[in-house]
Structure 1
Amino acid sequence: MSLAVTNSVIMDRWINEPLSNFSVSKNLNNVHFYLDLVLLASESLIPITTDMIFQSSLDLGMNTYLTKEIKLWSGQDVKKSRDFLEGCTVKQTKLSTILICCVVGQHEELIRRAITLLEQMTQQNKDPKQSTLLGKYFSNFSYYYKYKVKENKKLSIDEEFQLASKLLLDLLFYSSDSGYIRLWSTSLNYSLLNFHDITE
């Protein structure tokens, strides 16, 4: 059995796996918000397009209707409310989690390069924002978070930097073959975390 088929079988089993102690009414909105935050960080670094998401859904053998639900931040109108995955079921949300990780996984080398650069500049006591790659990432993240996240928690400059840095590091884990499991687990725990838990 090929790796692709094996992964498909594993993912299908995971998607249909029943959840224990999960309240859809209480938890699903928090899951959606965290997934959207991860998408924000992803799009701040990666030039994600709707065509890329559509192709990934085809590669995964998914129904392409989900591509219409995953709204990119670059096309978000600041005057309109963002209803990310609103109305999606748990199964549909799991599929979206896999789809996001698939897109992120296609740019694993870029993510590694950004993280390596972040670590090097931090060790050298240099401002990471002075580099072209990280400067663009942090600038995009700041713009999306400040002007496009509805009802966002107001963050200081340092807190925003910490959050963006933490999410960048997490993208590397989410880009792995089983990254969707880790992303889903973190999403489920999001409602139990406060800002300092997320950034530590």
Structure 2
Amino acid sequence: MPGSSSPLQTFSLQLRLAETNEIFSLPQCQNDFTLKQLKSDLELLTGIPFHFQRLHYLDEMDLPDDSTLMDNDVVPGGTITMRIWRQDGWGHLVAAAAKGHTMKLAQLGVTEEYAGTSPYAKILGPEQKKEWVAHRAFVALFVASHRGHVNTVKFLLSHGGECIWPISSDVDLKTIKTALANCNKFDIKVGKLRMENRNENFLLPCF
């Protein structure tokens, strides 16, 4: 009938994370999903923060956040590729955290001891550099804890102190706590920090 619409079909996709060659299954996809919606789900599925995700399909062109799967001609059973923003060595950092390569990670700016080895960090002032290290340590902690790399998480918490950083999307803190609980050899507490004049959620893991 004119004006009628067929029900949305639910289908599965695969996601390949280029930096680690990991494959993830996406079983509950629909044509009207926007890439922004998908990225929020992928943040929890892959442990990769929303703002680092570059999604590609068939070629290496970034898919716009406000476009849908239908807009990009994504077909059931297809494979979407995720790549990490390469600036400032983020791809190497995510790969090292995902694989639990603690010693390699230690040289990628997640501690103040090695922060000066980055060309970008060398031009930062003391407070900016501290914030730069905290951001990198948070991302590494998020990725490593998602995959249960206990020794890497211990290293990040013991060498970086408290990793305090705004959560990049509307991620439920209980879900992040569950991811951190993969590293159940020690107690990690997660709470909210409300900053004056700021409306952001912060992750505060500590012993």
TM-score (norm 2): 0.33
Bigger RCO (CA 8 Å, 6+ sep): 1
Larger Rg: 2
Which structure carries more strand by proportion? Answer: 2
